[in-house]
Amino acid sequence: MKVLTFGWEFPPALSGGLGVACYSLTRELLEKGVEVIFVLPRKQETIGDLKFVFADQQKRVKFREVSSALRPYSSTNSLVITLTAIKMVSQSLKLEQ
């Protein structure tokens, strides 16, 4: 069996998110003997015994960058705010009981 996977990076730069999920899934598939082809947007250093395809290196693929507010790992500040809000809500719920 062959599996085609798309992701931002391999291996993941941070612990959490899509990178970790793709890495774990790919590792499990390889252990089961599945051939994994992993597509990344740009050429980068990689690890593992799988085939990598870099979209920006392919002649038959049109690769065009566009402006976007989406950035992988753009800010840890929003994570801190989210975690703080979760903690505050959790504490509030405990007080109401």
Q: Is residue 51 part of a domain?
A: yes
DSSP sequence for 16-53: SSHHHHHHHHHHHHHHTT-EEEEEESS-----SSSEEE
pTM: 0.60
Q: Is residue 23 part of a domain?
A: yes
Across the 97 residues of the chain, what is the mean pLDDT of every consecutive 10-residue run?
Answer: 86 76 89 90 83 83 71 53 54 52
Instruction: Quote the number of domains for the chain.
Output: 1
Do 63 and 56 contact (CB within 8 A), yes or no? yes
Instruction: Give the CA distances from residue 42 to residues 7, 37, 63, 78, in Å, rounded to whole numbers and listed in that order.
Output: 10, 15, 10, 26
Domain that holds residue 57: 2-66
The pLDDT of residue 88 is 55
Q: Is residue 52 part of a domain?
A: yes
Q: Is residue 56 part of a domain?
A: yes
Q: Report the alpha-carbon distance of residue 91 to residue 9 in Å, rounded.
A: 36
Q: Is residue 90 part of a domain?
A: no
